[in-house]
Chains A and B, each alone.
Chain A
Amino acid sequence: DQQVKQNSPSLSVQEGRISILNCDYTNSMFDYFLWYKKYPAEGPTFLISISSIKDKNEDGRFTVFLNKSAKHLSLHIVPSQPGDSAVYFCAARGYSSYKLIFGSGTRLLVRP
């Protein structure tokens, strides 16, 4: 029973356009949400996070939106660049918990 779901295994977008990666969760106790980016043969690297007290967090080209009522979050990348091609993992944890629960990942391909 996956508590964090990424229903799109892959996404392909044109360079310069917007990439939107989606994530759904089922556990209402989750309080903190993170996105990680992973290149082949490397470990995941932290990208951006959001607390449940916010509905939006922005960092340069990356914006994460949180809709608590729908238990849904999304990562927007604008504009998309070929170097953004990677697997993106959504993760969540509860308040004061170190334990991260990850989604299955979405492979993003940005076409030049």
Chain B
Amino acid sequence: NAGVTQTPKFQVLKTGQSMTLQCAQDMNHEYMSWYRQDPGMGLRLIHYSVGAGITDQGEVPNGYNVSRSTTEDFPLRLLSAAPSQTSVYFCASSSSLLAGGMGNEQFFGPGTRLTVL
């Protein structure tokens, strides 16, 4: 199993450009999510999905779109990049929650480092 894969590893954009960060997992996980990591702020949830066709907003969704057409893929789209979106982006996935809400530790991809000039 490759686990959670993310492409590209690095990206430089100009303000106003759009792009899609790719995320795929081969563990048949229901839940997938996107986080951004900024210095001193930990990881903040952008968007998440509990299954194909179902997405919802996290803590910091503005400026980002997602869709989930398959179980495996969960791309993150930046519609019009801004310098404030310079960050490291992580995709994560997990299996369904066990009875009682236990388990479900999330597996993270290696990250995409994005710079917006």
* A residues with CB within 8 A of B: 4, 6, 9, 31-32, 34, 36, 41-46, 49, 51, 89, 91, 95-105
Report the Cα distance A32→B101, complex, angstroms: 8
Residues of chain A within 8 A of B106, CB atoms compared: 46, 100
B42 within 8 A of A: yes
Query: In the bound complex, do residue A44 and residue B43 qualify as a contact, i.e. CB atoms below 8 Å apart?
Result: yes
Query: In the bound complex, do residue B40 and residue A98 qualify as a contact, i.e. CB atoms below 8 Å apart?
Result: no
Known A34-B105, A45-B108; judge A98-B97 contact (CB<8 A): yes
Residues of chain B within 8 A of A105, CB atoms compared: 42
Query: In the bound complex, do residue A43 and residue B94 qualify as a contact, i.e. CB atoms below 8 Å apart?
Result: no
Q: Identify which of B33, B48, B58, B110 contacts A43 (C-beta below 8 A).
A: B110
Query: In the bound complex, do residue B45 and residue A99 qualify as a contact, i.e. CB atoms below 8 Å apart?
Result: yes
Which A residue sits closest to B44, measured CB to CB?
A102
Q: Identify which of A6, A43, A51, A98 contacts B31 (C-beta below 8 A).
A: A98
